[in-house]
């Protein structure tokens, strides 16, 4: 019963999303102000050919700082976890 | 692993590192950047760990040095952005772009072949993030694969 219900919910969601996506046409987004600004002014202001790098490292620099911090925190977490596991193993062996 | 695998890993290791450094260094001209290039370099560490065993590479990949490298990347990233405050502008202001100094050449509007000496502090940021991702992913791989048993035991 629960299985049929979940399948039914999935089908309804899929139909809903397809109907929503059918309303858009590919290649003509509704809002283009931000894209146009980056494309027209990126090369002049930041002196870079790669607009994606311009956005990621300059216009959205705070975002990249957060990304780097998230990676740093993830590495610290992995190091802490495995250090605990390794220490526990060595305690058992000794 | 067998001798053939170890030889191929030895041959591929510098090529992968050089390609990753190329992706990092050309992040402001070609697709790619610090994150992608750092991940490419970290796969070289994964290759060398898989080809040899964890005990044999203790002298080659030091956890302490990789931790220092990762921290240095993050500090360099924030430091390059903080210099802008010292110059009297806002945080993350691109003070090197169009300045004529290091990486300070201008770029004409529209499609052009590209020049390495452009981009303001974006190449410095790419290098910082590349160093950080290199150290971070390498140390994660080093920790995760530390359980691979030694050859022949």
User: pLDDT per residue over B36-47, tens digit each?
Assistant: 999 999 999 888
Q: Is B153 a domain residue?
A: no
Each residue of A1-47: pLDDT tens digit? 888 999 999 999 999 999 888 877 777 777 888 888 888 888 888 88
Is residue B37 in some structural domain? yes
- Would you say residue B27 lies in a domain? yes
For residue A46, give how far its alpha carbon lies from the nearest alpha carbon of chain B (Å).
6
- For residue B152, CA distances in Å to A81, B24, B47, B53, B103 come to 28, 38, 19, 10, 52
Ramachandran class of A31: left when φ > 0, alpha when ψ lies in -120 to 50, beta otherwise: beta
Interchain CB distance below 8 Å, B125 and A49: no
Nearest of B63, B88, B83, B87 to residue B128 by alpha carbon: B83
What gap in Å lies between CA B152 and CA B49, rounded to an integer?
A: 16
Q: How many structural domains comprise chain A? A: 1
Does the pLDDT at position A85 exceed 70?
no
Cβ distance of A49 and B112 shorter than 8 Å: yes
Total domains in the fold of chain B: 1
- Among A37, A38, A39, A49, the residue to mutate for chain B (most B Cβ within 10 A): A49
Range of the domain at A64: 2-93
Interface pTM, i.e. ipTM: 0.80
Q: Return the pLDDT at A92.
A: 44
Mutation choice for B interface testing from A36, A43, A44, A47 by most B CBs within 10 A:
A47
Q: Residue B7 belongs to what domain range? A: 3-147
């Amino acid at each position: 019963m629960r299985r049929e219900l979940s399948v039914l919910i999935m089908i309804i969601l899929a139909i809903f999303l397809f109907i929503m996506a059918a309303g858009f046409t590919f290649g003509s987004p509704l809002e283009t102000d931000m894209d146009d600004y980056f494309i027209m002014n990126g090369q002049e202001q930041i002196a870079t050919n790669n607009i994606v790098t311009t956005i990621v490292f300059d216009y959205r620099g705070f975002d990249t700082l957060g990304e780097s911090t998230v990676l740093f925190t993830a590495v610290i977490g992995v190091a802490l976890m495995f250090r605990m596991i390794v220490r526990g193993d060595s305690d058992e062996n000794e | 692993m067998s001798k053939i695998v170890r030889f191929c890993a030895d041959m591929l290791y510098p090529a992968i590192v050089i390609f990753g450094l190329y992706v990092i260094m050309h992040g402001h001209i070609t697709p790619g950047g610090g994150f992608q290039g750092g991940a490419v370099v970290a796969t070289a560490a994964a290759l060398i760990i898989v080809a040899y065993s964890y005990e044999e590479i203790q002298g080659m990949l030091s956890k302490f040095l990789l931790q220092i490298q990762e921290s240095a990347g993050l500090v360099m990233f924030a430091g390059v952005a903080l210099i802008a405050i010292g110059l009297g502008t806002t945080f993350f202001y691109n003070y090197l772009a169009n300045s004529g100094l290091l990486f300070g050449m201008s770029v004409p509007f529209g499609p052009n072949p590209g020049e390495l000496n452009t981009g303001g502090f974006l190449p410095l940021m790419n290098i910082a993030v590349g160093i950080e991702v290199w150290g971070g992913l390498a140390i994660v791989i080093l920790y995760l694969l530390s359980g691979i048993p030694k050859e022949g035991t």
